Amino acid sequence: MARPRIGVIGAGFVGMTVAQRMAERELGDVVLFDIIPDMPKGKALDLCESGPVEGYDSRLVGTNSIEEVAGCEIVVITAGLPRKPGMSREDLIDKNAEIVRDVSSKIGKNNPNAIIVTVTNPLDIMTYLCWKVTGFPKQRVIGMAGVLDSARFSYFIAEKMDCSMRDITAMVLGGHGDTMVPLPRYTTVSGIPITDLLPQETIDQLVKRTRDGGAEIVGLLKQGSAYYAPAASVAAMVQSMLHDEKRILPCCVMLEGEYGLSGVCAGVPVKLGRNGVEQVLELKLTADEMKALHASADGVKSGIKHLKL
């Protein structure tokens, strides 16, 4: 039985690591695209040569021709400029919109039945742009953000409580930025809400660190931004879809009435299966939580208005 083909657009740190994570999980064969001459071919070859050591049979090829990404069941868009210290995700809108608009148009033509996972920042705005340009059903254009933000929240909780990360399930909604909405009531340690385990002051500190999680790494790296955790988050999403696991994960999707929001892409819990987003789950939010989610979505809408559609 032929392995699924997975395209990765952009062979920088995020794209390269996404390819590695997916190959090591043997999710499929990977086509790694970048415009830099020969670079994706070198990275793909290096990853192939890791196979005998790591014990995977996934095949990887690198290319400078986006047409070679045709026929992929899932395409991951990581292409774009990374943040630098002092930059917000919104500072990247104009430059990355030009890149995402171009590759989305080509993906739409060459992979009309594919599911697209967007990673390029500002994530929610680029997801909207990709959906708009491709004309794909909203179930097949999905932004990676909530999985990453929830993973950061989980790690910070485990670090504070000195407990296993495996016992923590976190939930973060909203835009991928300073206005994201971590939900302590829906964040548990072995099923126990952290609101029963930690004082409010500590929870507030963990929420703030989660919102600043990407900027913290950017500041430490000095050049570039996070890639290990984003790549792991993409791989989890792709696995849930290709294996039809139907995992409930927070992802950025186009909303049409859910949570009282329409015409905007934002992070909400969804069921990810073989057809992409198979269900949007609407949590019972408090008035304050709903207000925060709408404020986060308003920030995304402002960015969308900035796009030249």
For the cut 80, the answer to whether the pLDDT of residue 264 exceeds it is: yes
User: pLDDT-based confidence at 88, cuts 50/70/90?
Assistant: low
Q: What is the model's pLDDT at position 92?
A: 78
Q: What is the model's pLDDT at position 307?
A: 87
Q: What is the model's pLDDT at position 306?
A: 82
CA 241, CA 44: separation in Å to the nearest integer?
23
Residue pLDDT, tens place only, 137-147: 999 999 999 99
Catalytic residues: 176
Q: What is the model's pLDDT at position 91?
A: 74
Neighbours of 229 (CB within 10 A): 18
CA 30, CA 203: separation in Å to the nearest integer?
40
Q: What is the model's pLDDT at position 224?
A: 86
Cβ–Cβ < 8 Å for 62, 43:
yes
Q: Which whole number is the average pLDDT over 272-299?
A: 97
Q: What is the model's pLDDT at position 159?
A: 98
* Domains of the chain, start order: 5-143 (3.40.50.720), 146-306 (3.90.110.10)
CA 203, CA 160: separation in Å to the nearest integer?
10
CA 227, CA 269: separation in Å to the nearest integer?
23
User: pLDDT-based confidence at 90, cuts 50/70/90?
Assistant: low
Neighbours of 291 (CB within 10 A): 12
Per cent of the chain over pLDDT 70 is: 98
For the cut 70, the answer to whether the pLDDT of residue 89 exceeds it is: no
Residue pLDDT, tens place only, 166-181: 999 999 999 998 899 9
User: pLDDT-based confidence at 28, cuts 50/70/90?
Assistant: very high
DSSP 196: G
Average per-residue pLDDT for the chain:
95
Residue pLDDT, tens place only, 45-85: 999 999 999 999 999 999 999 999 999 999 999 999 877 77
For the cut 80, the answer to whether the pLDDT of residue 309 exceeds it is: no
